[in-house]
Every structure is written in C-alpha cells, then in structure tokens.
Amino acid sequence: MHSNDELVDYLVRTGIITNKDVERAMRKVDRKMFVLDEYKDYAYADTPLPIYANQTISAPHMVAMMSQYLDVRPGMKILEIGSGSGYQAAILAELVGRDGKIFTVERHAKLVEMSRKNLMKWRNIKVILGNGAKGLPDEAPFDRIMVTCAARTIPEDLVKQLKNNGKMVVPVGPFYLQKLLLIEKKNNNINVTDLHCDCVFVPLINEG
C-alpha cells in the first residue's frame, strides 16, 4: 500500500474498520509521520514497526480495533498508557475533538521526546513521562482508558481511575500472547468482556 488512504481503504474493505468516526480519524492521521526514517517505506503496511528502545508502533488493524472498542465520543477525557510513537494518541485526539483531552503516559524518555515531536499539531494531547501502571491520580477520573502495552493481570489502579460508565481496553496475559479485554464500570460494578482477539504487545513494566 502506497498511501495512508490506501491503508484505510484496505482496513475498511477487510471489515476491520466499521465505524465512520474511526475511519475519518485514521484518514486524517498519516501513519508515515509516526514511523522512523528507516521504516518510512513500510508505513502503510498493516504491521507493527520498531521505534526506539526496542518498542513498536502497533499494527494499524490493532489501532483501529482498539479505538472502536473504546467507544470514544467528542469531549471525552482519555488516558493512554504507552505513548510510543504517539500514533494511537493522535487517533484518539481526533476522536475526542477540541473539547476533549488525551493524557498519554510513557516510561521511556526517548519515546516521550519522539511522541511529543510527532504530536506537536494536536493541542489536546499531553504526553507525560512516568509509570503508567499507576495511572494519573491527579487527572483522574477518566471517561476512557486505553492500555497499549501488555498487563499480566487487570491493572486495578487504572480501573479505580475510570468514571462511572467508563470503559477501558487492555491486553492482558503473558509476554508472548495476550487477550484483549474490555472493562466497563457501571454503578461501581466491574464488567469484563473478552473481546476474543489474541494480540502480542510489549509488556507493561510496573517499575519506577
């Protein structure tokens, strides 16, 4: 695929993108701006790609699916764990619009620098250096939380930082294979749905 539109066309044609808002957001955010120079030729392939610090920018189909499962509406306040290249944060920023806000936490300083640079034109995103496993108590609660690294178990500190009627999408499991889970908070009940999507994310490191 030779352009961002061709990549999005492919995701629509194969039935991955079903939501018009997510389609629009993915057309607006050019993936090429988020990959390293040496991988620009592969920016529009539906595959993860290396970034700095042995981390990866997720495959576009995974970004599309997680964005759809998160059920984002304009004006929402969202927490992302694992900024990486900033690509997923940009898609979320398009979905929440000017009245919404994205907080994204990254533990690698080099990736904080990369994502801040890539995200300069989005005024509704804040990139924070730190351990996202603990969430962001000062900014909580959030309408939505997206975890883009693999948790061993459901991250309870993050569940606590969800609003009532809030939702979180998180890959949970061992390093070699995870299940994508949707966690919904309703009147202080926690509902966990297995989205039946196997995935391989880099681990969420709970240190520091």
Tokens for 101, please give them.
Answer: 């806000």
Task: Tell me the closest approach of the beta carbon of residue 206 to ligand SAH, in angstroms.
Answer: 6
Of 58, 67, 83, 85, the active-site residue reads 58
Task: Tell me the closest approach of the beta carbon of residue 48 to ligand SAH, in angstroms.
Answer: 8
Q: Is 60 in the site for ligand SAH (CB under 6 A)?
A: no
Task: Tell me the closest approach of the beta carbon of residue 84 to ligand SAH, in angstroms.
Answer: 3
CB distance 204 to 147 below 8 Å: yes
Total residues at interface with ligand SAH (CB under 6 A) = 24
Closest listed residue to residue 89, CA positions, set 111, 163, 109:
111
What is the spatial distance between Cα 132 and Cα 142, in angstroms, rounded to a whole number?
14
- Which of residues 76 and 202 has its CB atom nearest to ligand SAH in the complex? 202
Q: Is 88 in the site for ligand SAH (CB under 6 A)?
A: yes
Which residues contact residue 142 at a Cβ distance below 8 angstroms, ignoring those fewer than 6 apart? 77, 78, 79, 103, 161, 162, 163, 166
Dihedral angle computed from the Cα positions of residues 186, 138, 84 and 53, in that order, rounded to the nearest 10 degrees: -130
Binding ligand SAH (rule: CB under 6 A), the pick from 55, 67, 124, 178 is 55
H helices of 71-161, in order, are 87-96, 109-118, 156-160
Q: Is 19 in the site for ligand SAH (CB under 6 A)?
A: no
Residues of the shown chain interacting with ligand SAH in the complex, contacts defined by CB under 6 A: 55-58, 81-82, 84-85, 87-88, 105-108, 111, 131-133, 148-149, 202, 204-206
